[in-house]
């Protein structure tokens, strides 16, 4: 992607963000506002970090669309909160794929797994998607339980996969930072991540 095109995209997104921020200031219960958004540029990104997340909302929603650069069909999509890389994450994923329905689970890991996203060996032009919900992120009573819906089409025939995920961060701290990671490689150019805040939900 050229720098001119990247600049134009950023300008459009900035304008949209500002409009949404303005509308959210008088928003009704349950409305979504864009807190942050990025489009990965030339060279890719090792990780995507949303920092200084305001505590103004009831829930956070991370929406991702993109792919990885590793020379495989798919890589694990991972998430960390508040840059905590200690063994504080538990998760279970449910996969629906050409092989049937399977699950995977782990406890005490250093990041939460949200199934997978496609990578360089998947059919060209495809993107993996994820929508991750973090309710009560600013409250400090309970550990943070997150849920996710993930789609990752490896090809146009049998490899159209779907996953559901639940993950827990063993901390009562308010969430101020969200980091998206891949198990190998980088986020490819053109991948998009958006952080929404939801009020009253």
Partner 1 sequence: MADKLIIDCSTGEESTEALTTAEEQDRATLAAESEAAATAEAGRTTRREQAAQRLRTIGSGTGTVSAADTRFIAKVLAVVVANMAVDPDA
Residues near partner 1 (CB under 8 A) are 10, 14, 17, 35-38, 40, 43-54, 69, 75-76, 78, 85, 99, 102, 104, 106, 109-111, 181, 183-184, 186-187, 195
Which residue number, 47 or 123, has a Cβ lying nearer to partner 1?
47
Which residue number, 69 or 88, has a Cβ lying nearer to partner 1?
69
CB of 155 to partner 1, least distance (A): 18
CB of 59 to partner 1, least distance (A): 15
Edge-to-edge, what's the strand order for the sheet holding 192-198? 32-39, 192-198, 59-66, 128-135, 144-153, 160-169, 89-97, 100-109
Residue 139 CA from chain centroid, whole number: 21
Tell me how far apart the alpha carbons of residues 90 and 105 are, in angstroms, rounded to a whole number.
Answer: 8
Which residue number, 35 or 118, has a Cβ lying nearer to partner 1?
35
Which residue number, 36 or 128, has a Cβ lying nearer to partner 1?
36
Between the CA of residue 51 and those of 35, 54, 55, 71, 175, what are the distances in Å? 10, 9, 12, 30, 10
CB of 69 to partner 1, least distance (A): 8
Cβ atoms of residues 66 and 191 within 8 Å = yes
Of all helices (H) and strands (E), which one includes residue 174? none
Which residue number, 49 or 58, has a Cβ lying nearer to partner 1?
49
CB of 143 to partner 1, least distance (A): 22
CB of 197 to partner 1, least distance (A): 9
Identify the three-state secondary structure at position 116: strand
């Amino acid at each position: 992607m050229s720098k001119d095109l990247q600049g134009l995209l950023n300008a459009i997104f900035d304008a949209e963000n500002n409009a949404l921020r303005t509308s959210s200031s008088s928003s009704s219960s349950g409305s979504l506002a864009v807190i942050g958004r990025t489009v990965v540029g030339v060279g890719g990104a090792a990780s995507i970090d949303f920092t200084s997340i305001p505590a103004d909302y009831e829930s956070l929603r991370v929406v991702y669309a993109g792919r990885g650069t590793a020379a495989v069909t798919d890589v694990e999509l991972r998430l960390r909160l508040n840059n905590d890389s200690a063994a504080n994450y538990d998760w279970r994923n449910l996969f629906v794929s050409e092989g049937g329905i399977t699950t995977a689970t782990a406890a005490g890991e250093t990041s939460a797994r949200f199934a997978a996203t496609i990578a360089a060996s998947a059919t060209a032009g495809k993107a993996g998607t994820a929508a991750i919900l973090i309710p009560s992120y600013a409250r400090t009573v309970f550990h943070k339980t997150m849920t996710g819906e993930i789609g990752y089409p490896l090809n146009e025939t049998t490899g159209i996969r779907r996953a559901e995920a639940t993950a827990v961060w063993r901390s009562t701290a308010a969430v101020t930072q969200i980091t998206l990671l891949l198990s190998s490689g980088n986020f490819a150019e053109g991948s998009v991540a958006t952080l929404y805040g939801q009020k009253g939900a």
